[in-house]
Amino acid sequence: MTEPADEFSFLPEQAADAGLTGPLPRGERLQIDLADGRVVSGLRWWFDSPGDRPVVTFLHGAGLNAHTWDTTVIALGLPALAIDLPGHGDSSWRDDAAYVGRMLAPDVAAAMTAWTDRPQVLVGQSLGGLTAAAVAAARPDLVDRLVVIDITPGLDPNAGAAEIRRFFSGPTDWADRDELVDRAMAFGLGGGTREKAARGVYFNSRVRADGRVEWKHHFAHLAAAASAGDRPPGEGAGSDAVAAVLGEAGWEDLAAVRAPLQLIRGERGYVTAADVDVFRERVPAASVLTLAGGHNLQEDAPVALAAEVRRAAGKD
């Protein structure tokens, strides 16, 4: 694949793929240093002026990165922030591999404190949704409204993704990105075209000092270790009990949220009608909406999702 000029070079293609003809946003890469030496990275987007501060903050799901929101941001038309969760994108990996909402929330809150100047419409998908709930519960000053996409506590953010786990459990480094694109296409991943697969590979990989290409996110390396017989933290005996505890923690976080809360599920996503019934019972003040699409609504239905986020921001 031809290396792009920069990470924002794909925006015209992404807009064209979604049938969007309006102005494109401008973006910049941000980074904040944490006290323990790790970094959190993110993307800040604006349309009119670089001085326009974000009104919406996006958190992606497991195995993704901040660029998964690009088309949604284009359709949104509002200044926004998209954060790379720890272990993803350009944010540092966690030595303890503790990629759960309550563990990730303090890092996200630190980034939001540094990069925003007002309470946000906080939008989180899958693992990002559980993290967003933890942020809203612990730091209500940062959140004006909370939108959780296709996840409820107790559900595995990777549920139904056995093929993706097999995809990532292979080698973790490659001669070049073309090899990664070939693998994605062979697994039926990447959005259906080689161009889309190449975009996804570019955003989710990096070139090491030795010239080899490796996955950016920690999950691919954990999956490879597991397939080799080295269980990552949280795997094996007792994992069901751990999942139950984490699920209950997620419900506690949602119960503590004081901002208006909405669950948006994908019609073909992970949250079933039965899951919605439990959600309504445990979080009765929240609203629920279903959109046509799968688990990654920001990629399956970015325009429809952006319209809902605009409404949440009071811009409809």
Residue in 253, 275, 295, 300 annotated catalytic:
295
Residue in 126, 217, 253, 275 annotated catalytic:
126
Q: Is 205 a catalytic residue?
A: no
Angle between helices 239-256 and 101-115 (to 10 degrees): 40
Residue 121: strand pairing partners: 56, 145
Q: Is 67 a catalytic residue?
A: no
Cβ pair 278, 251 in contact under 8 A? no
When computed from its CA atoms, the radius of gyration of the chain, rounded to whole angstroms, is 18
Q: Is 221 a catalytic residue?
A: no
List Cβ<8 Å contacts ≥24 apart for 20-27: 20/71, 20/74, 20/75, 20/303, 22/74, 22/77, 23/47, 23/77, 24/74, 25/73, 25/74, 25/80, 26/50
Return d(Cα 169, Cα 151) in angstroms, integer: 24
Sheet with strand 205-207: strands edge to edge: 173-174, 213-215, 205-207
Residue in 150, 253, 275, 300 annotated catalytic:
150
Catalytic residue positions? 126, 150, 295
